[in-house]
Structure 1
Amino acid sequence: MKMRFWLGLTLFVALISAIMPVPEWIEAFRPDWLLLVLAYWAIALPNRVNVGSAWTCGLVLDVLQGAVLGANALALSVVVYVLALHFQKIRNFSVWQQAIIVALLSIMVKVLGYWMSYLAYDIQFDEQQLWGALINFLLWPWLFYLMRRYRRHFKIR
């Protein structure tokens, strides 16, 4: 029960960080905190954080952001599924190789989110959103080491 609390706390902080208001000029460079935290937990503890966890977090994010219901849920679920399917391979990669994978998956999240919104609202794709993938790439090593230290400190297994 204690481990679930600490794990849930990281997901809660990631959700709060995802909806925190930022200036409009920074919005394009906003990292996808929920994706980064879910990716870490899907690689570190695939038996605890799975597609259902990603779906639930994605639905909560959709409601909080007022996005198309299920857009983030679908995108995050697909990413966590891919990570959980290959978590043993990804664990053996260096942190920078993992960062490349996370950046590619964050591009996939943006494209899936756009596709779902396009089907509902007929919107145009904003290339500025892809800057977030570069920021995710740069943040992944720092977040990886921070989360690993957090996991070891609180003995989350």
Structure 2
Amino acid sequence: MRPRHYVIALSIMVALVLQIVPLPSQADTYRPDWVLVVLAYWTMALPHRVNVGVAFISGIALDILLGTPLGVHSLVLCFCVYILAANYQRLRNYSVWQQCVIIGLLSAFYHLLSFWLLHLLNDIFFLYEYMLPVVTSMAIWPWVFWLLRKLRRQLKIV
């Protein structure tokens, strides 16, 4: 098989690694949602290949890697990818900067829903630091978008 058949899976694996790579405690609160951003790109670019099932499997892997209760991230990622897949034709027509706002709203939804689920399961309390990755997820979106789009076009992934 050609390497282009593995690009989507490899990019999701790289996002999973970036999600768990150790960072200093000051920088860790700003860690972007790498898995959400990569899944968002592939869902908008190729909704027939990356869908809710891929989000579920990625979420289960993220739950295992982060040690959260099994199913929390998978449920939240499934909701986010479903929203993107239902509106991908509209979202593709937005500029990258408008998509940054959409990614920010999606990331805020991701964090609020995962907090709510973890609050029900573990009785944690809300801190404003939970929402700081929204800003960095918005900031990395243009670079992730351009990198993955260049990769997709060069390898002719359809």
Instruction: Please report the TM-score for the alignment, with normalisation by the length of structure 2.
Output: 0.96
Aligned residue number for residue 75 of structure 1: 76
* Alpha-carbon distance in structure 2 between the residues aligned to 1:79 and 1:67: 18
SS at match of 2:134: helix
Q: Kindly report structure 1 stretches of 4+ aligned residues shifted beyond 2 Å.
A: 1-4
What residue is the counterpart of 1:91 in the other structure? 92
Q: Is the 8 A contact 1:42 1:80 kept in 2?
A: yes
Q: 1:7: Cα distance to partner?
A: 1.0
Which amino acid letter does the alignment assign opposite residue 146 of structure 1?
A: L
Residue 134 of structure 2 corresponds to which residue in structure 1? 133
1:55 aligned partner, one-letter code: F
1:116 aligns with 2:142: no
Residue aligned with 2:32, SS: coil
Counting only pairs closer than 5 Å after superposition, residues 6-155 of structure 1 correspond to structure 2 as 6-155=7-156
- Give the conservation status (yes or no) of the 8 Å contact 1:7–1:156: no
Give the C-alpha shift of residue 129 in structure 1: 2.0
Matched residue type, 2:63: D
1:47 aligned partner, one-letter code: H
CA deviations on 1:7-42 (whole Å, 9 max, x unpaired) are 110001000110111111111110110000000000
User: How big is the shift at 1:4?
Assistant: 3.2
User: What do you get for the CA RMSD once the two structures are aligned?
Assistant: 0.9
Name which of structure 1's ranges 128-137 and 84-93 shifts more when overlaid on structure 2.
128-137
Preserved CA contact (<8 Å) 1:15 1:61: yes
Which whole-Å CA distance do the structure 2 matches of 1:127 and 1:56 have between them? Answer: 29
Number of equivalences: 157
> Which structure 2 residue ranges, 5 or more long, are not aligned?
none
Give the partner amino acid of 2:13: F
The answer to whether the 8 Å contact 1:68/1:116 transfers is no
Structure 1 unpaired stretches of 5+? none
Normalising by structure 1, what TM-score? 0.97
